[in-house]
Structure 1
Amino acid sequence: MSRFALRGATIALASALLSLLSACQPAPGTVKDEALRAGRDAASFPAADEDYFHDMDGAIALSSDEIKGRNMWLVWTGGDDRLWDGLTNTSVGTLDLLKTLSSYPGLQASRDNRWTWLGLVNEPCFKKATGPDPNRYGLWLDQRDPSCPGDPFENEQKYPGVKIGARGKTVPVGSYYGYASGVVGLRLFPNPDFDAAAAKHWDAKRYYSDPNYYNDKNLVRPYRVGMSCALCHVGPSPVKPPDDPENPKWENLASNVGAQYFWVDRIFDWNPDSSVFPWQLFHTSRPGTLDTSLISSDSINNPRSMNAVYNLGPRLTQSLRWGQETLAGGQRNNKQFNDFLSSGPLTQFYTPPDTVHTPRVLKDGSDSVGALGALNRVYLNIGLFSEEWLLHFRALVGGQPITPIEIAVANKNSVYWQATEQQTPDMALFFLKSTAPHLLKDVPGGDKYLTKDQKVLDHGAMVFADTCARCHSSKIPTPAPGVDPGGCSGKDYLTCWNKYWAWTKTDDFKTKMRAIVQQKDFRDDNYFSTELRVPETVLRTNACSSLATNAIAGNIWDNFSSQTYKELPSIGQVTVYDPYTGAPSQYTMPAGGRGYIRPASLISIWSTAPFLQNNVIGTFNPSPSVDARMASFQDAIEKMLWPEKREKDPVLGDKIPGYIDRTTATSWLIIRGGYLPDFLRPLLSPAHRFFPAIFGEGEIKLGPIPAGTPVNLLADIDLLGESTATPEEKLDHQKKVLDLLTKLIHDLNALPPNATDDDARKVFANVVQPMLALSKCPDFVVNRGHYFGTASYPGEPALTDDDKRALIEYLKTL
């Protein structure tokens, strides 16, 4: 078939698919969530007040409201089990959380190695399944230890679940907290679609062992799996780690440290296969990282570390200085503390009708509408009100214009949203009580890692004052008027920042900062970050985190980013590198919010390595022990301060300043036949298989993608032309995308059956420049930047080796 015929067929297929999807979907704003359809209201979802998790977080004493906040954080899923069940089909079987929870002998992970292999936290008081459970449809799910107290959240009389079935039948679904699964952060819910016909078709043995059975988009599983915030935020306590991480006790776990050991490529791909391109994509996520725009894809592969939550009180307080934002339109529908409190210190963070002082939680500082708005957004992002959310984008794969999910619509049509809004103030209260730093000096045996030489510590403190504090201390001198970027509006921010940055290089700043560092209470209530927006031109780290588009005007999180964020100016140009030749070029960063990163907090930095926003600096160690954390910290901090020690690219070496994530094996983009829409299935029959290299026996298979291909060369293509300014430019962009894909498919199809990787590389070599031109983030070097203290910054003296070693000793004390 000619290239023109192929292009015509591609257009026809795309048009047919888009038409089918559009015809099947209701209009945004017209759907109700399961709870509302079941006749529930927010008052019928009272927060749980049982202190079941008392031993966590150092067994701190909590009030009733604070206990409710912790329970919400750990077990409330807000009906998101509906989303995760549906994503099993959307991901064409790659994601299957029921298998992630199982200990069936044929799976790579079970309760015995769940921590080591997956980085998931085994819930205390459970035992490994030793066989199929006849009471749970033959599934190999963890069993509760009968010697332990029961889970109070499974009380169906106190916490009755909604009763609704998408197939037109009303069926019970248990407690609205579901049932404990054996994994912290995942809850089991009876599937309302598992009716008599589904039960008759169900075969647990084939579910685990027969691909022809489990790779069927019509298969109905007996349970849906819901996800709470705990999955990505609970981890081993740095100061009281478990002796055996596969078998922790509640006292060994902390609610807010972040899932530092989480392997997304293994959790979201239950049967990992390096020859499948989605595995190659997931594999770029280092342990402890996740792309928060994975589901509502912005066509940028953007794995970022899961933040530890420390010192929320001081963090809120410093937002009065640096976190002022202006709200407009739908942004003003976010709940503020003032909506729940008539007086008290928490009401100072909002001045009606449109001014809020807020921490910036996401790394690009986009969720800037207030602390409660940031918490509520998380629940939408993990699937609350998916009935509406999924109408605004195409999950996982992208390629469809993204439109904003409106808070006003959620308030009207989602009882789960209403209940979540009512409960997040209690969660904030819990954080205010539970986010104290984990200090190395408090760890049994931690003293052996801390120097006793006060001169070294004093030296390190001065280095910190001169080099680090301007971004990594919430206690800094007060600048002159017009120099503090915290007082500037969005459009004026960069001008203020440049003045501030220049001032931090002066003797005036350094003298005052040294005096502050020497104060006895310097570490007390210091968040060790300013949370200012730092331009990527200063950081020089990988630009993809700051290029995320979900929060720009008109995108999915439009209602959750402030007007001042949307008005931020362009920071100018950053240097990017050709992934095949290493040749540098300049890339102009767009305006409208992108281009900035808020500095990470250095609290408990000894326990949080590897470093940078993508956990790429330092060697990962799967053990949560203090010795292992310190080994990881030492390796990571040396690579931060001595950039020449960082990993180099295996293809380009010293031609570029770091490492590019490349495919590790020849791979293919495969869609199993069972997940194809019915109207596309005839393409799999011999009579219709006009592209044998693409439409193979029982599946669609695109490739080969040769080993060594930059993963983000494929993953970051801007399919929609979101960065274009006019409809004409967007249309031209989409034509270029179509031409590119047509050429790539045609040339791959022309390869002989025994084509080598070298043959396939020639195909990709012909399209590298068009792909770079269409990329939403052409910056592929993942471990560059943050060169502070080196000779890379003109006008700033480089630190000596003694300076750096003293600084390391000081950082261990934070």
Structure 2
Amino acid sequence: MQAQDAPYYAACAREGLDASQCAGRLIWFKATAGNDRFNTYVFQQRMGVLIDWFRVLRSDQRDDRFRAWGVINDPGCCTPGDPNCPAKSLDETYGFDWCPGDAELLKYVGKPGYRDPACDFKDAALKAGDPHGPEDQRQSACDLAFGTSAGALGFRKFPNPRFDRDQWIALNGRAGSWAGYAKPIPAAGGSGEPAKSRLMDGSVEPPFLIGTACGSCHIAFDPLNPPKDPAHPAWENIKGLQGNQYSRISEIMVSGMATNTLEWQMFAHARPGTTDTSAIPNDQVNNPGTINALINIPQRPVFAGEQVLRWHKTRACEGQPEAVCWCEPGREGKCWEKSLQTETVHHILKGGEDSIGALGAIQRVYFNIGSCSEACWMNHLSDLRQLDPQQRGFGQTPFDIGQCRRDCPNFRAIEDRLDNVLDFFMSAEARATDLREAREHELRKISPTAEYSDQDLIADLNAEFGDGAVARGEQIFKQTCARCHSSSPEAAAGNFDAIDFHKTDPKSGLRADWMGNDQATLVSEVGTFRCRALHSNHMSGHIWAQFGSETLRARPPDPNVKEPSDGGRGYYRNISLLNLWAHAPFMHNNAIGPELCGQPANKANAFYAMRPRYVDARDLSLLPPEKQPACWAYDPSVTGRYDLFKASVDALLHPDQRMPKVTLLNEDVTLRIGPRLWDGTDKEKLLGFSLTIPATIDGRGVNAGTLGNFQHKAFVVDLVQAKFKPAEVEKRLVAQWGEQEGKRILADLKGITEEVTRQPNGLIEALKKRPYLVKKIYSSCFAEVENAGHRFGEDLSEADKKALTAFLATL
């Protein structure tokens, strides 16, 4: 065992985890599966989206890191020069925290030969009856790729053997500075071009490659035992499966981009605790969703009778083609066979899209955060700059699980240990964290023998919300909410009066009711911001098709949605309400309830101040600063979570009183299309044309989601064909939009073609005259107001709404 793993094994002992659960926990917290190359090279140089890892993880701003980025500081790390820190200077660590394991890792910055700590990972025993046993033939644990902590939990660093220290110092002035590396490159700085830095310049190598583990989003503060100071947590304050509701992972992913770039404006609008899981495998649907709290997973509903086409473990292939059966070379009887079977599976993600089983869903997360990108999936992505439908990269193509298993050892390293990760999900660390227990824990900080019973909680809630509020609220919940938010057999049978929401399962000891049935509900019935429900990556022919069941894709589209919603789209799961008190704000985008902000000392990272959300209900124009409600500062304390819960439930139950929220562009965005010439000065000449997307049009702000949802490829194809094949275009448009609207669209396409022919830089002006083309006709989602919908319970009396709030606090 590596010395740096000691706190992790101590946590396993504290939680009572067995060997398999503990192995899964270590993988969840540390394994990057090789995505350090993606985060350092592929994303930045091939996709042109820049991450400034130093800006996020610089040690001299360690105390500001949680407030700025929402990430959880690693309790084992320290700022060089602080008392008791082994590193005495930031130059020793190249400006990063010193973390356990760095005494060895730092020796290999700029040198080959580093041996990853994952090579010493102690595997749990194989499951009894595993078809690939009894001999242990798992892929080398080295390919889990742990590295050492980068200072924040879930973020890992690796020494870059190509680093040149002398070149680095010449560029930055000293080893611990990144000032020159992040400085704009002069050749890209002329003519108003958005700034780019050497993050994209492959001629300069950074000292570290940065990888991310699944825990980078899911590790969070324990609601039962939050830290006194969030910037200085202890290991006892941290859980791995809660989901970090303060994380600004979207801002992290564009931390090296200028704010007037298309990428920054499209990425950096997800709220704290949410992320657009299709931002990298882009489907041009603006769809940030909450980072899930993985609670009471053994009680989560499963769905029988699903038609699932996936790979299954087998012992031999018997001459079958590699496309349907493959045996790993050098292994005895370690084979996989692809077949369609009827199975019982979970439905995972906001619309239940991951539906080939929990193990497959866990594996897909690693691809979504960059593992095996070059070997397996980068070439399946749509190139947003490719406008010719005959060329590769015009649209997505399906990721091939079989090909990736064959070609990527990191895939096999994770896949061979998925059972351990799932066992961790089933462990005590994922148990519910009730308000009663949290309050008792707070009291015991003062008096170690203090007790706070269920009756004490009920008494306090009744005192706050009215006599008998909890009991009355339970009856209201049964009448109003339980049809969606209960997994009990009684709810499925419609016998709501018989439900005991707090009954425990005799086998697991967990709450028997998961407080959600996980059934798919049409988005038009839920009524919330629908863009996430139109996520398309799991459709046939799209990148994650092999992670969706055939049953999923057979779901009929929502008949009340005008946007395309075929292929199983157009639904939201009825999620669990367990521990609702600890996980506000609400809905899949955290939009219902107060807006959260970190209020960092470094105002360059004060992201909420850059993107105020509240708009005038009459015309959706941005409210002036003096009318913008104040954001709520991050407060993971028991009292802070509870107060946020109450404010969010109040917003939930009073939809007519919600001040609408829309995320707007906060700067003009200029796109330059064509080659550039540079004469060695800070000026450059563009051979081509530029398009400026204004932040406001006719006094109204431009919705940032409109950019993400604009189907520009289909628009350009139709624009060209309107000139050369108008009859074909008209037939297609009339079939989709009706005769009158279809002919109007064609006429406008022809008009734009003529205008742009006369004035090549006039495309934006031409579209400004016809905004419906961008907002409706060529948009994947028309929705604008982000906190609308879910109007269930709005007709209750004020007393009943208070009672319902009181009962929800007991879940």
TM-score over 0.5 for the alignment?
A: yes
1:262 aligns with 2:247: yes
1:776 aligns with 2:759: no
What is the DSSP-based 3-state SS (H/G/I as helix, E as strand, rest coil) of the residue aligned with 2:692? strand
1:714 aligns with 2:707: yes
1:623 aligns with 2:629: no
Alignment of 1:467-616 (within 5 A): 467-477=480-490, 509=494, 512-517=495-500, 520-521=503-504, 524-574=511-561, 587-616=562-591
1:126, 1:145 within 8 Å by CA — same for their partners in 2? yes
CA–CA separation in structure 1 for the residues paired with 2:501 and 2:180: 63
1:234, 1:255 within 8 Å by CA — same for their partners in 2? yes
- 1:128–1:732 CA distance, 2 compared to 1 (3 A): farther
CA–CA separation in structure 2 for the residues paired with 1:610 and 1:464: 19
What is the DSSP-based 3-state SS (H/G/I as helix, E as strand, rest coil) of the residue aligned with 2:7? coil
Deviation at 1:267, TM superposition (A): 1.8
Alignment of 1:188-207 (within 5 A): 188-194=157-163, 203=172, 205=177, 206-207=179-180
1:390 aligns with 2:400: no
1:533, 1:596 within 8 Å by CA — same for their partners in 2? yes
CA–CA separation in structure 2 for the residues paired with 1:370 and 1:49: 33
CA–CA separation in structure 2 for the residues paired with 1:70 and 1:607: 22
> Partner residue of 2:686?
689
> Partner residue of 2:306?
325
Deviation at 1:281, TM superposition (A): 2.6
CA–CA separation in structure 2 for the residues paired with 1:202 and 1:88: 20
Q: 1:217 aligns with which of 177, 201, 209?
A: 201
Deviation at 1:667, TM superposition (A): 2.0
What is the DSSP-based 3-state SS (H/G/I as helix, E as strand, rest coil) of the residue aligned with 1:144? coil
Question: Residue deviations 1:674-725, cap 9 Å, x none?
Answer: xx99x65569997953567x2xxxxxx7344337111122220123449x99
Alignment of 1:716-731 (within 5 A): 716-721=709-714
Q: Structure 2: which 5+ runs fail to align?
A: 107-112, 121-141, 186-196, 316-324, 326-336, 388-393, 444-451, 597-632, 734-744
What is the DSSP-based 3-state SS (H/G/I as helix, E as strand, rest coil) of the residue aligned with 2:157? strand
> Partner residue of 1:187?
156
Amino acid at match of 2:497: R
1:367 aligns with 2:342: no
- 1:778–1:335 CA distance, 2 compared to 1 (3 A): farther
1:142 aligns with 2:142: no
> Partner residue of 1:638?
650
Amino acid at match of 1:125: G
Alignment of 1:757-772 (within 5 A): 764-772=768-776
1:61 aligns with 2:16: yes
1:705 aligns with 2:695: yes
- 1:335–1:89 CA distance, 2 compared to 1 (3 A): farther
Deviation at 1:589, TM superposition (A): 4.6
Amino acid at match of 2:540: A
- 1:623–1:147 CA distance, 2 compared to 1 (3 A): farther
> Partner residue of 1:804?
801
Amino acid at match of 2:430: T
Amino acid at match of 1:622: Y
Deviation at 1:750, TM superposition (A): 6.1
Instruction: Give the alignment's TM-score, normalised by structure 1.
Output: 0.71
What is the DSSP-based 3-state SS (H/G/I as helix, E as strand, rest coil) of the residue aligned with 2:8? coil
1:79 aligns with 2:34: yes
What is the DSSP-based 3-state SS (H/G/I as helix, E as strand, rest coil) of the residue aligned with 1:71? helix
Q: 2:73 aligns with which of 97, 119, 122?
A: 122
2:483, 2:491 within 8 Å by CA — same for their partners in 1? no
CA–CA separation in structure 2 for the residues paired with 1:141 and 1:730: 59
Question: Residue deviations 1:415-473, cap 9 Å, x none?
Answer: 11111111110011111112110010011348687544483222111111111111111
Amino acid at match of 1:62: L
CA–CA separation in structure 2 for the residues paired with 1:306 and 1:232: 7
Alignment of 1:250-399 (within 5 A): 250-270=235-255, 274-315=259-300, 318-319=301-302, 322=303, 324-328=305-309, 331-332=310-311, 354-387=341-374, 388-394=376-382
Select between 191-200 and 387-396 the one with higher mean Cα deviation. Answer: 191-200
CA–CA separation in structure 2 for the residues paired with 1:230 and 1:513: 37
Question: Residue deviations 1:339-374, cap 9 Å, x none?
Answer: 9xxxxxxxxxx9986122222220011100001010
Instruction: Give the alignment's TM-score, normalised by structure 2.
Output: 0.72
Select between 396-405 and 704-713 the one with higher mean Cα deviation. Answer: 396-405
2:528, 2:787 within 8 Å by CA — same for their partners in 1? yes
CA–CA separation in structure 2 for the residues paired with 1:239 and 1:268: 30
What is the DSSP-based 3-state SS (H/G/I as helix, E as strand, rest coil) of the residue aligned with 2:669? strand
- 1:534–1:210 CA distance, 2 compared to 1 (3 A): same
1:239, 1:442 within 8 Å by CA — same for their partners in 2? yes
- 1:94–1:363 CA distance, 2 compared to 1 (3 A): same
> Partner residue of 1:99?
55
Q: 1:156 aligns with which of 103, 107, 115?
A: 115
CA–CA separation in structure 2 for the residues paired with 1:285 and 1:274: 15
> Partner residue of 2:420?
426
Amino acid at match of 1:389: W
- 1:783–1:193 CA distance, 2 compared to 1 (3 A): same
1:460 aligns with 2:460: no
1:376, 1:424 within 8 Å by CA — same for their partners in 2? yes
1:573, 1:588 within 8 Å by CA — same for their partners in 2? no
CA–CA separation in structure 2 for the residues paired with 1:568 and 1:716: 23
What is the DSSP-based 3-state SS (H/G/I as helix, E as strand, rest coil) of the residue aligned with 2:379? coil
Question: Residue deviations 1:169-221, cap 9 Å, x none?
Answer: xxxx9993112111101111123544799769764544356322625422322
Deviation at 1:562, TM superposition (A): 0.3
- 1:145–1:64 CA distance, 2 compared to 1 (3 A): closer
CA–CA separation in structure 2 for the residues paired with 1:432 and 1:375: 13
CA–CA separation in structure 2 for the residues paired with 1:84 and 1:684: 30
> Partner residue of 2:124?
none
Matched positions, count? 654
CA–CA separation in structure 1 for the residues paired with 2:233 and 2:576: 27
> Partner residue of 1:9?
none
CA–CA separation in structure 2 for the residues paired with 1:133 and 1:266: 31
- 1:683–1:461 CA distance, 2 compared to 1 (3 A): farther
Deviation at 1:275, TM superposition (A): 3.9
CA–CA separation in structure 2 for the residues paired with 1:147 and 1:255: 23
> Partner residue of 1:662?
664
Select between 384-393 and 56-65 the one with higher mean Cα deviation. Answer: 56-65
- 1:142–1:517 CA distance, 2 compared to 1 (3 A): same
1:369, 1:560 within 8 Å by CA — same for their partners in 2? yes
CA–CA separation in structure 1 for the residues paired with 2:284 and 2:754: 19
Select between 64-73 and 589-598 the one with higher mean Cα deviation. Answer: 589-598
Q: Structure 1: which 5+ runs fail to align?
A: 1-45, 105-109, 162-172, 340-349, 481-508, 575-586, 649-658, 695-700, 752-759, 791-797
1:369, 1:562 within 8 Å by CA — same for their partners in 2? yes
Question: Residue deviations 1:23-70, cap 9 Å, x none?
Answer: xxxxxxxxxxxxxxxxxxxxxxx9999553245489211112111100
Amino acid at match of 1:112: D
1:309, 1:435 within 8 Å by CA — same for their partners in 2? yes
Amino acid at match of 2:662: I
Alignment of 1:39-54 (within 5 A): 52-54=7-9
CA–CA separation in structure 2 for the residues paired with 1:588 and 1:174: 43
